[in-house]
Structure 1
């Protein structure tokens, strides 16, 4: 799944366009590497780091979401890292 679509489905971004802009400006890291394309494929087990407001969120992808569902459903797809 593309990183922009994933961030939209996981409810980190309000729109897929916003997630794509984050990726293209280099604000996101996957497994420690800077992302520069919204089309970057993401796999289960990848660790992503992205700024949300004044905080930095790091999480590990546990499973792929099938849709942009309710927050309680998509929270089962990732684990926050500290």
Structure 2
């Protein structure tokens, strides 16, 4: 691993195993899902240096990573963990959804007006 210089952000995300492919890393950058030191990255060729903070918005979670080292190749996961320090906030605790429109067992089929009320509950935007 080289600790000097700079590296493209899409390569670093791929080396650090944040994403599975380099093209997926480039797509994240172009979508605006990556921030480098608080500013939005819109191109995959932006340079990452040691000490930079990279924020990545992935599906369902946000990763905040501080660049500790730069790599020369994509190594195993144990090696990739040494490239960054994870500053991500803890994920929110899972809370099961509240039973909003449950009917009592044995209450039978809903009437037409009850069904419309249930539809209004499920789709409040209409």
Higher Cα Rg, which structure: 2
Fold shared per TM-score above 0.5: yes
Distance (whole Å) between structure 2 residues aligned to residue 6 and residue 77 of structure 1: 9
Q: Give unpaired runs (5+ residues) of structure 2.
A: 1-6, 90-126
| Count of residue pairs brought into register by the alignment | 82
Deviation at 1:69, TM superposition (A): 0.5
Correspondent of 1:68 among 66, 71, 74 = 74
For normalisation by structure 1, the TM-score amounts to 0.95
1:44 aligns with 2:24: no
Distance (whole Å) between structure 2 residues aligned to residue 19 and residue 40 of structure 1: 12
45-54 or 27-36: bigger deviation = 45-54
Distance (whole Å) between structure 2 residues aligned to residue 7 and residue 30 of structure 1: 12
Q: Which has the higher contact order (CA 8 A, sep 6+)?
A: 1
Q: Give unpaired runs (5+ residues) of structure 1.
A: none
Aligned to 2:60: 54
Q: Which runs of 4+ in 1 moved over 3 A?
A: none
Distance (whole Å) between structure 2 residues aligned to residue 74 and residue 50 of structure 1: 16
Tell me how large the CA RMSD over aligned residues is. 0.8
For normalisation by structure 2, the TM-score amounts to 0.63
CA contact (8 A) 2:66 2:85 kept: yes
